[in-house]
Amino acid sequence: MEVTEVYSHDDPNASDVIAQVANYANHARAMGLPFWIFAEERKPIGMVVFGREPIQLLAPVGTLMSFILVADPQTSREKIREFASEALDFVKRTKAQYALAAFPHEREEAIAEFESLGFKEIDDCYEMIYKIDEPFEVSDKIQFNKVERKEIQDFVRLAKEFLSGTPDSMLNNTLKFILELPDDFLDVYYKIEDFYFIKEGEKTVGIVNFDPRTGRISNVGISPKYRRQGYGEQAVRFALNKLLQNNVKQAYLRVHVKNKAAINLYKKIGFLPETRIKTLIWRRTAG
């Protein structure tokens, strides 16, 4: 059976269909991204969302890309197979250069169906959480200097260096294009997150940035010259203290499953794995 119903984000007759996937639809609309819902008898099976880089920063800025989302975790393998095939055909008819699909690690059947269409793993990560109950002690030998807007390009250049050299394939792809981030994107990013240079005396040993409202710790990067000297732990402690001062009681971060050093550090602090997510990518080939 083919999934024959496709509803666009601006279809005036699809409000009831869109309401069934409100979480995904509202997020896409908040980011100004168009989407299409695939359904059977007005019951959503999945969505295709389109955007342009630097949404994921896996291609040069301005590149059209897409997300393919399965709406219902309980969807049967047969329907996932049908939806995945039709959604990918839909993407191929556009100029999108790649498509991403993410699943909980245990959704092996869904992952296998997408892989059968040419999707390949690009990320396998834990989402870890920490409940912030009390402040941490932070070394007074280390300074955390808040990045000013005029310094954000310096922060990005250091991030490219300080976040390199890990087994995180998604991050390594992102770092290829990080210096292309346009000023208007950096303006928005700077308003959302807090950015800090980590210094000891005159030397810059690392960087850290986090969202002071949601508790998301986005990046902790230490210079290769100063790794395994405790700076990473101090950076996470500092970020958690700042979140607590902002009355945020739970912190989140993402870490690749093969980044054992980082996982051990986060567990030492008290973070616990909440979910494991696999992300797959399909890339358009030349011709």
Q: Does domain 5-118 have CATH number 3.40.630.30?
A: yes
Count the residues in the chain: 287
The owner of tokens 């920063």 is 57
169 with 278: CB under 8 angstroms? Answer: no
CA distance 120 to 283: 9
CA distance 220 to 231: 10
Same fold, 5-118 and 131-276: yes
pLDDT band at 72, cuts 50/70/90? Answer: confident
The pLDDT value recorded for residue 286 is 75
DSSP letter string, 186-206: HHHHHHHSEEEEEEETTEEEE
Query: Which CATH code, of 3.40.50.10810, 1.10.10.60, 3.40.630.30, 1.20.1050.10, is assigned to 131-276?
Result: 3.40.630.30
Query: What would the pLDDT profile of 231-278 be if each residue is shown by its tens digit?
Result: 999 999 999 999 999 999 999 999 999 999 999 999 999 999 999 999
CA 183: distance to chain centroid? Answer: 20
Residue 238 DSSP class: H
Q: Is this model's pTM higher than 0.85 or not?
A: yes
pLDDT band at 287, cuts 50/70/90? Answer: low
Query: What would the pLDDT profile of 85-110 be if each residue is shown by its tens digit?
Result: 999 999 999 999 999 999 999 999 99
The owner of tokens 């290769």 is 224
CA distance 69 to 54: 19
Mean pLDDT, rounded, of the chain: 95
Sheet holding 194-200, edge to edge: 143-146, 194-200, 203-210, 217-222
Classify the C-alpha dihedral 183-219-175-128 as positive or negative: negative
The owner of tokens 């896996």 is 58
Both tokens of residue 259? 């980044």
User: Strand 250-256 relative to strand 203-210: parallel, antiparallel, unpaired?
Assistant: unpaired
Q: How far apart are the first and last CA of the chain?
A: 31
3-state class of 83 per DSSP? helix
The pLDDT value recorded for residue 2 is 55
CA distance 106 to 42: 28
Both tokens of residue 149? 């807007």
Domain borders along the chain are: 5-118, 131-276
CA distance 110 to 87: 14
Say what percent of the chain tops pLDDT 90: 93
